């Protein structure tokens, strides 16, 4: 079975440019999470979706960040305009939430390493 | 207050020895889950093991076991017979709250970097 797929794996862009990160969750999972990992702040939850609906976006740093999940197999995280402090590894993870007896273990994608110059 | 505390920023262990990575957690929720993830230098986050708050027995997965002490709120990861490939960052995580109640959270610790010596 394919795991969580993220693209691109690496992105280098200049300050002010728009950046779009993409994620395909594991088939059958109903929840998707976006995380950001930096040395200074560790792993931070940005937003998560359940059944394509955003449930908690309290971790989104500011209005420059937006996330969508138009269907069960695709999500995007967009940064516009990007800034050097957005440089980080962005992970997408998926799981199945809401079923008794399931552990809701999150499975992570390989991450996108974003560098904003 | 930190919800997940990993007090060992770095650990060394000799190959083939066992090692324990510490994790303490803080929650008032009776239903929660505890997870350990491995992040090698290549960067991916790999799920290792899960322990539910109501599980009577400690979880085991191959060379990994979770030493769950509920009264102490600790969930230490034990790796037996360490291998060079075990060198990585290890994260403890907790899921608390019931999904749909508004209190659902998934929280990660700051990690412990393990180096296995030949």
Q: What's the pLDDT tens digit per position in B16-59?
A: 999 999 999 999 988 899 999 999 999 999 999 999 999 989 99
Across chain A, what does the average pLDDT equal?
Answer: 93
Closest-CA distance, A26 to chain B, in angstroms, reads 14
Q: Between residues A115 and A63, which one has the greater pLDDT?
A: A115
Q: Which of B105, B96, B78 is nearest to B33 (CA)?
A: B96
Rounded mean pLDDT of A84-95? Answer: 96
Q: How many CB pairs under 8 A join A and B?
A: 41
What was the pLDDT predicted at A98? 75
Q: Which of A4, A57, A1, A50 is nearest to A30 (CA)?
A: A50
Instruction: Report whether pLDDT(B102) > 70.
Output: no
Query: Which among B46, B47, B91 has the least Cβ separation from residue A43?
Result: B91
Q: Which of A32, A31, A34, A30 is nearest to A20 (CA)?
A: A34
Q: Is the distance from CB of B116 to CB of B84 less than 8 angstroms?
A: yes
Instruction: Report whether pLDDT(B1) > 70.
Output: no
Closest-CA distance, A93 to chain B, in angstroms, reads 9
């Amino acid at each position: 079975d394919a795991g969580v797929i993220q693209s691109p794996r690496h992105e280098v862009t200049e300050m002010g440019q728009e950046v779009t990160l993409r994620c395909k969750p594991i088939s059958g999972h109903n929840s998707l999470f976006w995380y950001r990992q930096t040395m200074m702040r560790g792993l931070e939850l940005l937003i998560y979706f359940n059944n394509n609906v955003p449930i908690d976006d309290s971790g989104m740093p500011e209005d420059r960040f937006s996330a969508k999940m138009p269907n069960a197999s695709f999500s995007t995280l967009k940064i516009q305009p990007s800034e050097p402090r957005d440089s980080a590894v962005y992970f997408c993870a998926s799981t199945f939430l809401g079923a008794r007896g399931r552990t809701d273990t999150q499975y992570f994608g390989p991450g996108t390493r974003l560098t904003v110059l | 207050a930190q919800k997940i505390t990993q007090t060992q920023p770095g650990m060394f262990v000799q190959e083939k020895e066992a090692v324990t990575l510490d994790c303490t957690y803080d929650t008032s929720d009776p239903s929660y889950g505890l997870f350990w993830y491995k992040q090698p230098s290549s960067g991916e986050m790999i799920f290792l093991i899960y322990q539910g708050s109501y599980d009577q027995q400690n979880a085991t997965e191959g060379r990994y076991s979770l030493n769950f002490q509920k009264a102490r709120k600790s969930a230490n990861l034990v790796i037996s017979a360490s291998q060079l490939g075990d060198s990585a960052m290890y994260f403890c995580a907790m899921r608390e709250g019931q999904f749909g109640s508004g209190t659902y959270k998934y929280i990660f610790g700051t990690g412990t970097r393990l180096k296995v010596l030949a």
